[in-house]
């Protein structure tokens, strides 16, 4: 559906260009909302389109964007500004000038006729000329005001979208604000991770997530506490800049400082192909995913103690003990043993993994087959949005 608002009046020819620049900000347009000012001999028409998209073109001189709607000529009629230097005050003489052709570039519409006839019938010549000048200035102010307001609205909208990347939306919370009894150990804030250094975007040792996910995690935590365990969360919301750093790290084949601790049997390319490390986007960036495990009530997190263990098939893997429940493989170990229900698991390890998984699923979370520690809220509030604001206090 197409709506049109036409403002007819007398104004200097430069107003249209100024107004277009005000409005477009040098050609910057929001595709769903557009106000256009079309110049026809100095008269302006303002059109608001809620359906048709604008085609951005340059005027014949290539000086500024000229905006046209599809079929615009069907409703934007040519109009006229009294630009002739002829001082004749009669309508007939101006009509004759218009009939001569393009020398004076004068075209008349019903709107102008009505306006001019009104002045002719109700005002004397001097008063009429004074009124024309006054209206001329008035319309200049109106057009500039309209253009400025539209431009400011556009800027406000754009900066609002940009703020989504730079500031935490209101629906995100620190996990401690919902449940401060959940233990947090943000590995990517430290060097205890597969990069071997602090990850870009992690400026605090606190977990942030959507409020909805935090409330559900609290319910799961209350259940675990009733069984003598507490949750330990390693990661929550992950900004997109962190995912980008993972990809950059993957392309640097010489950086293998943490290989022995996190991916001893795999090459870097295998981490991406195997689904252990995200290539472009991560579920964590949607704000409702967690990397977590359990710890017995009364125990505390301690510095990582490194050891090795041998699996049933003879593979030797590192084990990074931080005081949490032994799940058969430590957090972020990129190996088949980290898969849920793997046949190399000892019975007591499998039992603890199933206890964690079944409880999390009962409270609305979904597991990830390749990583026993990863869970995301199934009914998450932002299933298609990947945020990039920085985690900080």
With b meaning 16 or more CB within 10 Å and e meaning fewer, what string describes 330-348?
Answer: bbbbbbbbbbbebebbeee
Q: CA 380, 245, 291: angle at the middle one, nearest 5?
A: 40
Indicate the Cα dihedral angle 79, 85, 91, 96, nearest 10°.
-80
Contact 376, 290 (CB under 8 A): yes
Of the candidates 57, 64, 54, 98, the residue with the CA atom closest to the CA atom of residue 78: 98
Residues β-bridged to residue 366: 376
Structure tokens, 211: 């409020």
Contact 322, 302 (CB under 8 A): yes
CA distance 54 to 356: 54
Give the DSSP H or E segment for 91.
helix 91-99
Contact 221, 231 (CB under 8 A): yes
Indicate the Cα dihedral angle 319, 320, 323, 325, nearest 10°.
-40
Q: Is 371 one of the catalytic residues? A: yes
SS3 assignment for 271-284 = HHHCCCCCCCCCHH
User: What is the DSSP secondary-structure string of 119-177?
Assistant: HHHHS-HHHHHHHHHHHHHHHHHHHHHHHHHHHHHHHHHHHHHHHHHHS--TTEEEHHH
User: Cβ of 155: how many Cβ atoms within 10 Å?
Assistant: 12
Give me the phi and psi of 211, to 5 degrees please.
-60, -40
CA distance 325 to 301: 11
Contact 289, 376 (CB under 8 A): yes
Q: Which of 40, 245, 371, 392 is catalytic?
A: 371
Provide the annotated active-site residues.
Answer: 371
């Amino acid at each position: 559906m197409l709506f049109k608002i036409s403002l007819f009046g007398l104004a200097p020819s430069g107003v249209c260009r100024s107004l277009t620049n005000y409005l477009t900000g040098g050609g910057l347009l929001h595709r769903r909302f557009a106000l256009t000012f079309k110049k026809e001999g100095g008269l302006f028409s303002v059109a608001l389109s809620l359906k048709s998209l604008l085609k951005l073109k340059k005027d014949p001189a290539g000086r500024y964007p000229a905006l046209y709607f599809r079929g615009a000529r069907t409703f934007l009629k040519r109009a006229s500004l009294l630009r002739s230097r002829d001082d004749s005050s009669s309508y007939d003489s101006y009509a004759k000038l218009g009939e001569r052709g393009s020398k004076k570039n004068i075209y008349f519409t019903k709107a102008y006729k009505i306006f001019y006839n009104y002045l002719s019938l109700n005002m004397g010549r001097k008063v009429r000329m004074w009124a024309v000048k006054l209206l001329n200035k008035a319309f200049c102010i109106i057009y500039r005001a309209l253009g400025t307001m539209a431009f400011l609205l556009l800027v406000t909208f754009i900066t609002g979208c940009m703020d989504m990347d730079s500031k935490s939306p209101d629906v995100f919370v620190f996990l401690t604000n919902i449940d401060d009894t959940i233990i947090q150990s943000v590995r990517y804030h430290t060097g205890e991770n597969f990069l071997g250094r602090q990850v870009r975007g992690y400026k605090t040792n606190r977990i942030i997530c959507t409020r909805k996910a935090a409330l559900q995690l609290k319910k799961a935590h209350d259940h675990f506490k009733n069984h003598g365990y507490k949750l330990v969360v390693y990661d929550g919301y992950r900004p997109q800049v962190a995912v980008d750093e993972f990809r950059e790290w993957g392309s640097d084949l010489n950086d293998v400082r943490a290989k022995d601790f996190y991916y001893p049997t795999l090459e870097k390319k295998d981490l991406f192909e195997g689904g252990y490390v995200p290539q472009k986007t991560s579920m964590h960036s949607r704000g409702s995913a967690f990397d977590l495990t359990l710890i017995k009530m009364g125990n505390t997190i301690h510095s990582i103690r490194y050891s090795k263990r041998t699996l049933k098939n003879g593979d030797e893997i590192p084990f990074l003990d931080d005081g949490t429940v032994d799940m058969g493989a430590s957090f972020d170990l990129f190996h088949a043993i980290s898969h849920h229900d793997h046949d190399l698991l000892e019975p007591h390890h499998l039992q603890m993994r199933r206890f964690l998984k079944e409880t999390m699923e009962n409270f609305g979370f979904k597991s990830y087959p390749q990583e026993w520690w990863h869970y995301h809220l199934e009914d998450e509030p932002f299933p298609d949005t990947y945020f990039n604001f920085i985690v900080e206090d």
